[in-house]
Amino acid sequence: MAPPAHAPNAPFPAKRKGSMEKSDRIITIDGPAGSGKSTLARNLAQALGWSCLDTGALYRAVALVADERGLTPSQASEAGALAASLDIRLYVDGSETLVVVGDRDVTGLIRSPGISSLSSRFSAIPEVRGALLGLQRSLGQKGHLVAEGRDMGTVVFPLAGLKFFLTASPETRAGRRQLQLAREGVFVDPLDILSDIEARDYADSNRETARLEPAEGAFHIDSTDMSLFQVETIMIGEAKRVFGP
């Protein structure tokens, strides 16, 4: 399939093999749902002239297709096989990451609150994480990559040159998520968003596989009382301190 007309950049290669090698040119951004990881990762990558990996989009794509095929998170082996079989490609288009599965653009479909919640459950399945681990690591082999997710600094790229752990209060994250959805024409009860975020926080922090926790040596940022611009400024400054101008 040719890239969508509105996605000028070539997709990340859909390789399934990848080794974990030290790279001083990988930045990881981990944190809970709604902490602004995706936006900040894209902005930071753009400022540095690097590539950006939105791992949440990968798991959302798996959750979407699994749901469409009638699979549930209790079907671990089937979900893992599905994840391994999917041709998932990411295109960076300005401030947005476009997600294509096979010949289908699923960018809009994977951002619904229902898929967001479901993706958290599928991402906790070891078979699914194992199926996508090689793909994620292969994208970091050339370096110059900003990767965001839940376990980028702890599992996927533990030898990254710079690691961030980004968080904010549940109420702040829920408010930001509501504004984001509203800009996309989706209106959801803010209490439902808050409840979903709190449930995902609990699940992500207590699961056995790839538990949400700060990576060793991570730079912590609590953005509850900060703007995205302020956080971005801190991240760019830290990146330049570590990697040079």
Whether 14 is covered by a domain: the verdict is no
Which of these, 67, 89, 90, 93, lies nearest to 78 by C-alpha position?
Answer: 67
**What is the extent of the structural domain holding 64?**
23-243
* Cα–Cα dist 31/212, whole Å: 7
Say what the alpha-carbon torsion angle 230, 234, 239, 241 is, to the nearest 10 degrees: 140
What are the 10-residue block averages of pLDDT along the chain, 245 residues in total? Answer: 40 41 79 90 92 90 96 96 93 77 93 84 91 88 90 93 96 90 83 90 82 92 94 96 87
Whether 134 is covered by a domain: the verdict is yes
Whether 104 is covered by a domain: the verdict is yes
How many domains are contained in the chain? 1
User: 43, 232 in Cβ contact below 8 A?
Assistant: yes
pLDDT value of residue 14: 39
Whether 1 is covered by a domain: the verdict is no
Whether 215 is covered by a domain: the verdict is yes
Whether 46 is covered by a domain: the verdict is yes
Whether 3 is covered by a domain: the verdict is no
pLDDT value of residue 8: 35
pLDDT value of residue 98: 87
pLDDT value of residue 30: 96
* Cα–Cα dist 93/8, whole Å: 7
Whether 59 is covered by a domain: the verdict is yes
pLDDT value of residue 182: 84
pLDDT value of residue 34: 87
Which of these, 78, 94, 89, lies nearest to 127 by C-alpha position?
Answer: 78
- The CATH number assigned to the domain holding 45 equals 3.40.50.300
pLDDT value of residue 95: 62
Q: What is the pTM (predicted TM-score) of this model?
A: 0.79
pLDDT value of residue 125: 92
Which of these, 151, 197, 228, lies nearest to 34 by C-alpha position?
Answer: 197
